[in-house]
Amino acid sequence: NDTAPLFTEKELQTAAWIRDAARSDNLSYKILESLTTEVGPRMAGTPGDARAVAWAEAKFKELGFDKVWKEPVTYPSWTRGIEKAEIVAPFPQPLSITALGNSVATPKNGLRAELVEFANLKEMMAAPDEKVQGKIVFINHRMQNSNEYGLVVPGRSAGASEAARKGAVAIVIRSVGTDNHRFPHTGVMQYAPGVAQIPAAAMSNSDADMVARMIKRGKPVSLKLELSSAAAGTYTSYNVIGEMTGSELPNEYVLIGGHLDSWDLGTGAIDDGAGCAITMAAAEFIKRNGLKPKRSIRVVLFANEEQGLFGGKAYLAAHQNQIAQIQAAAEADLGQGPVTKMASFVRTEALPLVKQMHSVLAPLGIEPGDNNAFPGPDMGDLRMAGAASFGLALKADDYFDLHHTPDDTFDKIEPARINQAATTYAVFAWMAAQAPISFGSGQELLKAAKK
């Protein structure tokens, strides 16, 4: 196709310059240091949430973004409270557990019942009700590697209601995580409508191994569980947005970002302070170096991803008539990098441009992907509404060791890794902003998205 619009040689040179020059930049690392030190935990609806919003607004301004604003996001909030569990018989031992997000409380002073173990959610669902009735269900599903999140996570999100349907009094799961440390992994769960709501908690992999060893001895194993977690009313937080305004097509924009909220146990360094820092630094690098993108580059730090993608939904609601203005969307929410692959979701005419973008990025160790990209959790609904999307896949081999645990802290961040990711986002954002044609957001991609 020799008439396909392409990036000019000069544009390619500028993109290559960004790729090489940004590698020695340290801004993403510094932004993340600031967020984790000056804000720390920022679970949706807590005082840390409000502090994070204030931090983000101030940081965007400090970094010289042309426009900085907030858009409200309202959601039901939840508080953690007390969380304790101990095996009371036959071998008394305390466990390291944490409540799952949205879990109801146990009765005050806890509940006590026999454990019934299942290898995974499906096995529990196939069991006769009598086996579960009056018991605490223990889903002992080991997540072997980072590809198994989707496989294992239903035990966390849907396990409580499925157990309650069979008469269980509570559910405790092996943490959905790949580490071998004694940290429980929290994460959100949902109650199915019309089903009794039973308390739900996760224990560390170390504890799950131990409990399984006890159960293997063949005597009934009894657990005492005490949670005081509770729903806590409606809260309004904000998507915090910073924009570098385009010089030629200011109303079209490249959409990047991460989610600003974290779980409360750690300081949200990899989930998802890293995504916020990577994308803020990417946009700032372009501006600081005097490059003037044709289209705008918009960085959105989404509110409350963790408890139900509330920020992403609010963003779509507020901008649903402007999907065609989104040149390309790509969220960073899988840790500190590096980026290992670039997939796209663009109209056919734009594929030669994607190929050129990949050629610039390939020296960073980035493989080409397909044209069916998913842009990230908070932008998934935008894609469904027809937004052109990119999937800049972050290396996640250690991500599920840390995520949703107390161990998600800044000391785990390696400057070279996060900087490669920020560099990749800078090249991506610049090239998408400069592209000679639209990537196809709107009606054209809406059909493809619905397939």
Angle at the Cα of 97 from the Cα atoms of 93 and 100, rounded to 5 degrees: 150
384 or 416: CB nearest a copy of itself: 416
Contact of residue 363 among a copy of itself, Zn ion, none (CB under 5-8 Å per partner type): none
Q: Count CA atoms within 13 Å of residue 261 on its CB side.
A: 29
With a CB cutoff of 8 Å and minimum separation 6, the contacts of 133 are 166, 167, 168
Contact of residue 83 among Zn ion, a copy of itself, none (CB under 5-8 Å per partner type): none
37 or 443: CB nearest a copy of itself: 37
- C-alpha distance across the termini of the chain, in Å: 26
Catalytic choice (117, 284, 305, 306): 305
Number of residues that bind Zn ion (CB under 5 A): 3
Is residue 272 within the footprint of Zn ion (CB under 5 A)? yes
CA pair distance 220, 213, nearest whole angstrom: 12
Contact of residue 183 among Zn ion, a copy of itself, none (CB under 5-8 Å per partner type): a copy of itself
The site for a copy of itself (CB under 8 A) is made up of 33, 36-41, 47, 51, 91-94, 96, 180-183, 205-207, 209-210, 213-214, 217, 266-267, 405-407, 409-412
CA pair distance 42, 234, nearest whole angstrom: 16
Q: Is 219 exposed, middle or buried (0-12, 13-18, 19+ CB in 10 A)?
A: exposed
Tell me how far, at minimum, the Cβ of 108 lies from a copy of itself, in Å. 19
Stretch that binds Zn ion, among 99-107, 126-134, 147-155, 264-272 (CB under 5 A): 264-272
Is 57 one of the annotated active-site residues of the chain?
no
Tell me how far, at minimum, the Cβ of 272 lies from a copy of itself, in Å. 18
Q: Residue 211 in contact with residue 174, Cβ under 8 Å?
A: no
Tell me how far, at minimum, the Cβ of 400 lies from a copy of itself, in Å. 15
8 or 37: CB nearest a copy of itself: 37
Contact of residue 2 among a copy of itself, Zn ion, none (CB under 5-8 Å per partner type): none
SS3 of 136-198: the string is EEEECCCCCCHHHHHHHCHHHHCHHHHHHHCCCCEEEEECCCCCCCCCCCCCECCCCCCCCCC
Tell me how far, at minimum, the Cβ of 57 lies from Zn ion, in Å. 21
Is residue 264 within the footprint of Zn ion (CB under 5 A)? no
Name residues contacting Zn ion, limited to 274-333 (CB under 5 A): 333
The three-class DSSP label of residue 92 is: coil
What are the tokens at 143? 């997540």
Among 271, 331, 401, 408, binds Zn ion (CB under 5 A): 271
243 or 272: CB nearest Zn ion: 272
Contact of residue 333 among Zn ion, a copy of itself, none (CB under 5-8 Å per partner type): Zn ion
Helices and strands: H and E segment counts in the chain: 16, 16
Is residue 117 within the footprint of Zn ion (CB under 5 A)? no
Contact of residue 33 among a copy of itself, Zn ion, none (CB under 5-8 Å per partner type): a copy of itself
Tell me how far, at minimum, the Cβ of 421 lies from Zn ion, in Å. 14
Alpha-carbon distance values, 113 to 152, 220, 222, 404, 418 (Å): 25, 10, 5, 27, 46
What are the tokens at 108? 């005050």
CA pair distance 136, 144, nearest whole angstrom: 24
> Which residues are designated catalytic?
305
Q: Which residues bind Zn ion (CB under 5 A)?
A: 271-272, 333
